[in-house]
């Protein structure tokens, strides 16, 4: 809980109120999202050490897995795929806007978030460990991007900016 409070201290008042309104619209999804976020960070650290904090392939995995897990955890509360995906997009878009990033990094994060939501939709009945395997395979084939990248050409692939060390 202390980490949540530390994180919220970095958020502008405007973003904080946007979060409150969002959570009031989707109250059933708040705790599953927090648990999914914690689990995502733990799994990403277990698999990639601290590399997932950089803008490399491990970060692409983390963003996709985060969106997948939020959707999966919320789906266990409400069996409406469309509603869960709307929440997942709104809360992760809120995050990207509340914690500003460089333009290309933000574009990369939003792209990888969308991949995670697509994976949820396409692999709804798969076990989580199977989805982790799918995402790890996608991570190993992730595409390095730059400001000239045409995102329509990497629509179904994870993307990253820097090579992991």
pLDDT in tens, 114-157: 999 999 999 999 999 999 999 999 999 999 999 999 999 999 99
Q: Are 81 and 119 in contact (CB under 8 A)?
A: no
What's the CA gap between 41 and 48, in Å, rounded?
10
Give the model confidence (pLDDT) of 85-123 as tens digits: 999 999 999 999 998 889 999 999 999 999 999 999 999
Choice between 10 and 3, residue whose per-residue pLDDT is larger: 10
| Res 9: pLDDT | 73
Is 70 exceeded by the pLDDT of residue 165?
no
Residues 6+ apart with CB under 8 A from 82: none
Residue with tokens 């997942």, as numbered in its chain: 88
Q: Are 88 and 82 in contact (CB under 8 A)?
A: no
Q: Are 51 and 73 in contact (CB under 8 A)?
A: no
| Res 161: pLDDT | 96
The mean predicted confidence, pLDDT, of the chain is: 93
H or E element that contains 84: helix 81-98
The CB density around residue 158, as the number of other CB atoms within 10 Å, is: 24
Tokens linked to 110:
């939003």
pTM, full prediction: 0.92
| pLDDT band for position 163 (cuts 50, 70, 90) | confident
């Amino acid at each position: 809980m202390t980490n949540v409070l530390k994180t919220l201290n970095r958020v502008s008042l405007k973003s904080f109120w946007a979060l409150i309104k969002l959570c009031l619209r989707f109250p059933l999804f708040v705790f599953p999202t927090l648990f999914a976020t914690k689990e995502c960070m733990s799994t990403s650290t277990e698999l990639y050490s601290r590399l997932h904090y950089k803008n490399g392939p491990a970060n692409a995995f983390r963003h996709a897995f985060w969106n997948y897990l939020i959707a999966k955890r919320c789906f266990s509360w409400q069996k409406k795929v469309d509603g869960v995906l709307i929440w997942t997009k709104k809360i992760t878009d809120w995050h990207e806007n509340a914690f500003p990033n460089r333009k290309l990094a933000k574009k990369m994060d939003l792209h990888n978030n969308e991949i995670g939501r697509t994976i949820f939709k396409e692999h709804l009945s798969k076990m989580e460990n199977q989805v982790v395997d799918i995402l790890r395979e996608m991570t190993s084939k992730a595409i390095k991007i730059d400001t000239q990248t045409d995102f329509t050409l990497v629509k179904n692939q994870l993307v990253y900016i820097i090579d992991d060390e």
